[in-house]
Structure 1
Amino acid sequence: MLDRIADLTWHHPRKILAAALLFVAVAGFFGHDVEHHLKAAGFTDPSSESERAGDVLSEALGYSAQPGLVVLLRDRDGGPLEVTDPTIKAEVDRLAAELRGAAYVGNVTSVPAEDGRSVALLAQLSTNDLEDKGGLADESVRERVRSDVLEVGYGGYAPSFNEVNDQTRKDLTNAELIAFPLLAILLLLVFRGAVAAAVPLIIGALSIVGTLLALRIMATFTGTSVFALNIGTALSLGLAVDYALLIVSRHREETAVAGFTLDAHRRMVRTAGRTALFSGLTVAGAMAALCVMPQRFLYSVGAAGAVVGVLSAVMALLVAPALLVVLGPRINALSIRRGPGVSDTSNRWLRVAQGVMKRPVLVAVGTTVLMLALAAPLLGTHLTGPSAQAVPPGQQSYGVNKYLESHYGREVVEGVSLTVDGTTDPDVLEDLRSRIMAVPGVDRVAPFTAAGGDVAFATASFEAPALSDESQNALKAVRALDDPDGGRLLVAGNTASFVDEKTSLVENAPRAIGLIVLLTVVLLFLLTGSVLLPLKTLLMNTMTLAASLGILVIVFEKKFLVGLLDYPGPYSVEVTSLVFLFAVAFALATDYAVLVMARVKELRDGGMGDTDAVAHGVARTGRIISAAAIMIAVVFAAFAVSPVFFMKQIAVGMALGVVIDATIVRALLVPSLMRLLGEANWWAPGPLRRLHDRFGMRH
């Protein structure tokens, strides 16, 4: 197959490039406005109790119990709000009427503050999807509810998430403006020539445009999270540059030996092309495993990542070789400096690998202890979830939410929705209310009200913040109460959503992790023919992930260097990010493992001994992987400028995973463990070896 691809790109390069341009035109036409077709984050599990509670109450009552949006009215000069003044009263009534007419607003309640300095208009929404439809409600409210008499502010869950989504779209543009110039400079330094440096950027741009088209198609058939756009773009740029760097480097290596010939071209595609293909499939498999998760955020990012892995590999395998054929010797034009090429053997990496293999036990044990020490903080982490805390300072709703928290009860911005499905008997409901009030951590519970049919509801509040351990314990205690006679109690709200989110992740993550492990083992076996190398890769990937997450806890929970990152909190790790980072970090760690193992296997198959093959394999890929790691880390770090806390955590976590794997793991663990295993590195039982002989990936 690879030989056919090599011949195709050698004999018909201009046709392939013309097809690529046509693809860009079509993808750009249909995918340029993809952000307008994507939905909000989607952190909830549709089958969870909190979501079912919202559905039951919305169907019976027409709107949710707890307010999803709050309009804060204050005096323009900061003084007391004279609600008895006819002008003020008329304006408040007018604004409440405008609020009732906004999209997805089902009910409006007016609540004055105890200090008399403000009035909060609480909007209960007719939709249970506060993250997406709540954003449409917020936009409608901001357009309708305006005043020349009073200062109007918008807060609560829906406006908060709407501003986070808008910020996410801005972050994508900002990250691209940072990443592209930095990548151009780095590639120029790596390749020492402007023409060669442009090739990876071209492949990256093609991959990004293709990702936009894929997301646009996906959004047509299912709800797709807006965060898939940011993550997909970062992965597209990072992987495409990674694979194109590999292709161009091997091209220079082969043409230095055989000139610009078909033989050199074939060897490039057979070796670097095969590595890029396997790496792309491995990344795609790891990301696709997230599609089994019920959360829109996770399955959207998983699908986007799977497309990116395949698309980046295909672009590197077809477009990059065709471009190199058309350029010919001009690939080395516009050189800026002399020196060793990125594809040359690095004597420094060779000495490191040989030194490590002289003391493999000491290095392996010492490195393992270091990685476990870095991972240790993960054991005591305090997790958090999406809430109004996600709004970064500077956004309009941030100040409004802070004001509401300090001047109103928790039921305004962190209300707990209590829904009883099956009975509206007053005595039964009052008994249930008394039992809930007796639960430690519960602050207040309003009387139950009939919603229609056999459904009743009430709003409650906890004493502590919604995502605190105290509120989570209180929620669990309320849910543990016996159901009322003839009915069942369903609890919703921010605390309930967070607890349900964690439960859903615990229940569904093992399937995703199992798929990632299975696909990784199978693909690496097809590449190497070994049973132990894939298992060793799993172990090292797990250590890379654990160390990265441990550092993440140190930074974002223990407040280490948060000032440098301009991070104001919350000082916890976002729970959904752990599952996401597992898939991405695992995929990228496997990416570098494939690059090293493919080169080691090539040298070993060429007659080199095990120890020398490992040392020279590490040395031969040293500059390439170092350059690729720096560049992909730059791409991820560019997204860390986002003020949205979980986007910042994801970006830093991905950059950490890449750096740790490309340094500690590749320089120390890989050579030491491969030296200890020796010939056993390539062992496989007879049946599996025959399977690899038949189906394994060869030239």
Structure 2
Amino acid sequence: SRWRNRPAAGPRPDGPTPTSAAPGRPGTPASPRRTVLGAPFFGVKPGFPDDRVLPKSASAHQVGDMLRADFAIDSDSEVPIVIPDSTGLDRAEVDRYAAALSAVPEVNSVSAPSGTFIGGRLAGPPLAATGEAGGATLLTVGTSLPLFSESSETQLTRLHEVPTPGGRDVEFGGLAQTNRDSVAAITSRLPLVLGLMAAIMLVVLFLLTGSVVLPIKALILNMLSLSAAFGAMVWVFQDGHLGALGTTATGTLVANMPVLLFCVAFGLSMDYEVFLVSRIREFWLASPQTSADNDESVALGLAHTGRVITAAAVIMAISFAALIAAQVALMRLFGTGLTLAILMDATLVRLVLVPVFMHAMGKWNWWAPAPLVRVHRVLGISESGAAHPPKPSG
């Protein structure tokens, strides 16, 4: 053997390897395609689940469809507005506020204690919930705009912009406001969470590989894989292509589903990354560490882990695909998204893009600045207990 301490490799794979046959070509068109696949995700519109997540045969779904199609005002789209402290306010000030709210475009009516305001004028008795209690005043804005649509969001913003009576604080409710608050609660800490996940992943992979290139590569390729899967989710379940897989496309995705999917899929993809890269590194450390050895290490690592990764991915994909049989849209979306993410990661990423990238980078795959090399010698993760590569024999 020309390698010292070479791991038991068994028979070498026959024929061209992913890195020796037409290097660079298999992966070159894949990334643009995956970017295009992920493009729909940039058009994601967060929404709040309603009766349409249920099967069309469900009574609640059928009644909801009738209300949306045949009635001018849908109670789900109403916007309750509460003036928590209306003590000391003249009824006329509240009425002027209600009249101003009713003048907002596409508002059908505003129910106030004094009556219903339409188009800025008092038109009759209240049509919806309203009243005064405990020093607070309740108003209800009626609208027929589709929930969670761009027009609904614009209208809600304009309602917020209406000057309040006496400059008092007001609180907004309803599904549209609940959706806005939910999205804000989820996204407010999202950059911090994503940053922490990326930082921890980069550190752990550096301690495993001793390289600063491979962790960055892993992060970029994982993002490509996940964005493609999420783009498919938007294309199918939000935009309604492929018949939304038997569900009702509402033009939105439930805000917390992409985040939940990302956490699960990202963790699994990093698991597969560790499987593959750790095995490649074993062969690399046992070699004289030339560019040719890098290619052979990649080929051997892939040959020894490809089946394991594929089998593990298939098992997980089958488990998640079982959720597609559920008649609730949320479960079907979750199962479809994870199945796509796992299969794409274990096939296109691990078996195509990773080998192509590592072939293109050659010895630079294992590069790190001198200070980090010293850190890795002390803290590096190694099954053998040696964080630095052994010297070549001969």
Q: Indicate the TM-score class for this superposition, using the shorter chain for normalisation.
A: 0.7 to 0.9
- 1:526, distance to aligned residue in structure 2 (A): 1.6
- State the SS of the aligned residue for 1:643: coil
Residue in structure 2 matching 1:582, options 262, 281, 294: 262
Amino acid at match of 2:18: A
What secondary structure does 2:173 align onto? strand
Shift of 1:397: 2.3
Q: What amino acid sits opposite 1:695 in the alignment?
A: L
1:676 shift after superposition: 1.6
Corresponding residue number in structure 2 for 1:520: 201
How far off its partner does 1:384 sit? 2.7
Change (3 A) 1:352 1:657: farther
The 5-angstrom pairing of residues 191-590 of structure 1 reads 347=13, 351-355=16-20, 358-360=22-24, 362-406=25-69, 408=71, 410-424=73-87, 425=89, 426-448=91-113, 449-562=130-243, 565-590=245-270
Q: 1:386-408 CA distances to partner (integer Å, 9 max, x unpaired)?
A: 22322333334223333444565
Q: Which amino acid aligns with 2:103?
A: A
Q: Is the 8 A contact 2:238 2:251 kept in 1?
A: yes
Residue 651 (1) aligns with residue 320 (2): no
User: Between Structure 1 and Structure 2, how many residues are aligned?
Assistant: 355
Structure 1 residues 43-62: aligned runs within 5 Å: none
Which AA in structure 2 matches 1:457? L
Change (3 A) 1:490 1:389: same
Counterpart of 2:4 in structure 1 is none
Distance 1:491 1:390 in 2: 25
Maintained 8 Å contact 1:433/1:445: yes
Cα displacement (A) at 1:679: 1.3
**Residues 381 and 573, structure 1, Cα contact 8 Å, conserved in 2:** yes
Pair 1:347–1:553, CA change in 2 (3 A): farther
Following TM superposition, by how much is the alpha carbon of 1:409 offset from its aligned partner in structure 2, in angstroms?
A: 5.1
Give the 3 Å change call, closer, same or farther, for CA 553–486 of structure 1 in structure 2: closer
After superposition, the Cα gap between the structure-2 partners of 1:643 and 1:439, relative to the gap in structure 1 and judged at 3 Å, is same
Note the alpha carbon deviations across 1:247-304, whole angstroms, 9 max, x for none: xxxxxxxxxxxxxxxxxxxx9xxx9xxxxxxxxxxxxxxxxxxxxxxxxxxxxxxxxx
Letter in 2 for 1:478: L
Matched AA of 1:485: G
SS state at 1:446 partner = strand
Aligned to 1:92: none
Does the Cα contact within 8 Å between 2:76 and 2:174 map onto a contact in 1?
A: no
Q: CA deviation at 1:383?
A: 3.6
Q: Percent identity?
A: 29
Is 1:392–1:644's contact at 8 Å kept on the other side of the alignment? Answer: yes
SS at match of 2:16: helix
Q: Which residue identity does 2:366 align to in structure 1?
A: W
CA distance in structure 1 between the partners assigned to 2:233 and 2:42 by the alignment = 12
Name the counterpart of 2:281.
601
Contact 1:569 1:645 in 2 (8 A): no
- Secondary structure at 2:81 match in 1: strand
Aligned-residue offset at 1:525: 1.3
- 8 Å contact from structure 2 (residues 323, 331) kept in 1: yes
Given that 1:346 and 1:622 are in contact with CA atoms closer than 8 Å, whether structure 2 keeps it comes out as no
Give the conservation status (yes or no) of the 8 Å contact 1:441–1:464.
Answer: yes
| Alignment RMSD (CA, Å) | 2.4
> In proportion to residue count, which structure has more helix?
1
TM-score by structure 2 length?
0.83
Distance change (3 Å), C-alpha of 1:689 and 1:579? same
* Counterpart-to-counterpart distance in 1, 2:92 and 2:287: 86
Q: 2:344 matched to 1:679?
A: no
User: Among residues 347, 354, 367, which one is paired with 1:670 in the alignment?
Assistant: 354
- Checking the alignment, whether the CA contact within 8 Å between 1:570 and 1:645 is kept in structure 2 is no
Helix, strand or coil: the match of 2:86? coil
1:472 is displaced (CA, Å) by: 1.4
Query: Given that residues 46 and 183 in structure 2 are in contact (C-alpha distance below 8 angstroms), is that contact kept between their aligned partners in structure 1?
Result: no
Task: Name the CA distance, whole Å, in 2 between partners of 1:486 and 1:539.
Answer: 49
- Whose RCO is larger (CA < 8 A, sep 6+)? 2
How much has 1:519 moved relative to structure 2?
1.4
CA distance in 2, matches of 1:670, 1:345: 22
SS in 1 for 2:28: helix
Cα deviations by residue, 1:616-669 (Å, 9 ceiling, x for unpaired): 111111111111111111011011112221221121111111111111112221
- Runs of 4 or more consecutive aligned structure 1 residues displaced over 6 Å after TM superposition: 343-346
Q: Does 1:689 align with 2:373?
A: yes
Structure 1 unaligned segments of length 5 or more: list them.
1-266, 272-342
Q: TM-score, normalised by structure 1?
A: 0.48
Supply the distance in 2 between the matched residues of 1:588 and 1:417 (Cα, whole angstroms).
43
